[in-house]
Structure 1
Amino acid sequence: MLALRCIMGDLRGGGRLLRNLHRTPVCPEGRQVQLSRSRPQRTHTRLLSGGPGSSGARLKLRVRLAVTLLFGSGLIGAWWYVYTEKQQKLQRQRLEQLRQVALGQGTFSLLDHRGRRRTKQDFLGRWVLLYFGFTHCPDICPDELDKMSAVVAALDGDASLPPVQPLFITVDPERDDVPALARYVKDFHPRLVGLTGTPEEVKHAGRDYRVYANPGPKDEDGDYIVDHTILIYLVSPDGLFLDYYNRMKSQEQIVESVRNHIKNHVALNQSRAAV
């Protein structure tokens, strides 16, 4: 009522209200009146964290997560089982195929660099890296034997792997007798075994791995170069040829390949029992 009387007084005063809207109106009695606008009250609805609806929602979410995790784990387990079975089956098939291949299936009987007669059976049960070359080779054979020795040394550094036996079979038995091999192998890995024999024995060993070897023409000093296959062969403990590595393969690549072959190896007798 007091505010209404003040406003009516201003209207009678000839429009003073319009001029003084920006100031606080004063009633005739001299008291100030604070005008306030009416604002609608807003109601804020908040879901209390401790309410029964929130608790139920959290429980449902946990159940869904648990079911999803169980279902996902089951799918991953089933996939891994199928994948492992498939890999083992492929490995068994590969071993059976290798067993039927002529490469490396025969045997050899040669003299080592200490003069002892050695056959292929002496190396069964061990992983073997095999290289065919000759001691008078100017650069390729030393490079490949250095690489093979470095591969064996790197594999020796992995305690989870069995030792790998390096072998060197000459393709030049005319010059590479036992003393020549003994002098030559000292420059490479300490486990390297050099093998030689008669021309027929050496040719038989090379033929089993399809090694090409052809002596070139002799020079005025009687020296000559032997053109031959340049490969490092990987032989399994079953005596099977598994892989080969040419000059383009680096030491790291060969180490990784041999490591994978060893870790994924299935013995021949195991593969026969599983078929």
Structure 2
Amino acid sequence: MQRSIAIAAAGAVAVIVGGALVATTILAPADRLAACRQGNVAGGFDRLGGPFTLVDGSGATVTDADVITEPSLVYFGYTSCPDVCPVDNARNAAAVDVLEEDHGIAAQPVFITIDPARDTPEVMGDYARNMHPRMVGLSGSEEQVAAAAKAYSTYYAKSGDDPDYYLMDHQTMTYLALPGQGTVEFFGRDDGPEEVAERTACLVAAAS
């Protein structure tokens, strides 16, 4: 009787261990990504991000495959923005420094204009260089910018009738895109550079 109980108990342990092994080997990657995230997207993160074709600061046409070659903090805004864009871009630049210094991860801030009429490739290149040596500034035609914004489900619209001194309404999310993974997280304005770096490092580790 005791031998039967022992065999049954051993079988139960084997099932538990086996189940844990399956969970670790099959479910762990997705679970680890979910454990690192605070954001949530209806329909999944596959709905955010995707192919784009834009123009970099040197005037070269680039695609998402050319740009997202390392963990990238992607932000849509414009250089004439009087308030939120400089703060958000500075936060993203600081997060990149924290990632490198504290986690040994090379990453880049990516700034995509929503105002290509004023933000030419040259303007974006100068802005990016002044903000951070690793920042990538991207512009393009109205159609190219609209397609990139649509891929990331980000909203923007011109505000005001003055042809030179108008503002742009826009969302202020920063998207974390990983090479070969796509968009895996987004950050709000209240997330500080340390928080952005910590979650990014967690997601980079989970995705590798």
Alignment TM-score, normalising by the size of structure 1: 0.60
**For 1:214 and 1:232, how far apart are their aligned partners in 2?**
18
Alignment of 1:91-106 (within 5 A): 101-105=46-50
Shift of 1:164: 0.9
Whole-angstrom distance in 1 between the partners of 2:127 and 2:204: 29
- Please name the residue that 2:113 is paired with: 170
Deviation, 1:102, is: 3.1
Q: 1:233 aligns with which of 158, 175, 185?
A: 175
Q: Give 1:202's aligned residue.
A: 145
1:218 maps to 2:161:
yes
Name 2:38's counterpart in structure 1: none
CA distance in 1, matches of 2:67, 2:44: 18
What is the 5 A alignment of 1:12-161? 84-85=24-25, 86-88=27-29, 90=31, 101-105=46-50, 107-158=51-102, 160-161=104-105
Q: Name stretches of at least 5 consecutive residues in structure 2 with no aligned partner.
A: 1-12, 36-42
**Structure 1 residues 233 and 129, CA gap change in structure 2 (3 angstroms):** same
Contact 1:215–1:224 (CA under 8 A) maintained in structure 2: yes
3-state SS, counterpart of residue 207 of structure 1 = helix
Sort the Cα spacing of 1:180 and 1:236 in 2 relative to 1 into closer, same or farther, 3 A: same
Higher strand share: 2
- On the 8 A contact 1:124/1:239 being kept in 2, the answer is no
Give structure 1 regions of 4+ aligned residues with deviation exceeding 4 angstroms: 78-83, 91-94
- Sequence identity of aligned pairs in percent? 30
- Matched residue type, 1:244: F
The Cα of 1:187 is off from its aligned counterpart by: 2.3
Q: 1:91 to 1:139 in 2, by over 3 A?
A: same
Conserved? CA contact 2:68–2:177, under 8 Å: no
- Relative contact order: is structure 1 or structure 2 higher (C-alpha 8 Å, sep ≥ 6)? 2
2:116 aligned partner, one-letter code: P
Q: How many residues matched?
A: 186
Matched residues in 1 for 2:149 and 2:97: separation?
26
**Residues 98 and 242, structure 1, Cα contact 8 Å, conserved in 2:** no
Please name the residue that 2:7 is paired with: none
Which residue does 2:134 correspond to in 1?
A: 191
Structure 2: which amino acid aligns with 1:103?
L
C-alpha change, 1:126 and 1:98, in structure 2 (3 Å) is farther
- Give me the whole-angstrom Cα distance separating, in 1, the residues matched to 2:49 and 2:67: 13
What TM-score does the superposition give when structure 2 sets the normalisation length?
Answer: 0.79
Distance 1:131 1:89 in 2: 25
Cα deviation for residue 92 of structure 1 reads: 8.5
Which residue of the other structure, out of 201, 204, 207, is the alignment partner of 1:259?
201
The residue number in structure 1 matching 2:190 is 248
Change (3 A) 1:218 1:87: same
Counterpart amino acid of residue 143 in structure 2: E
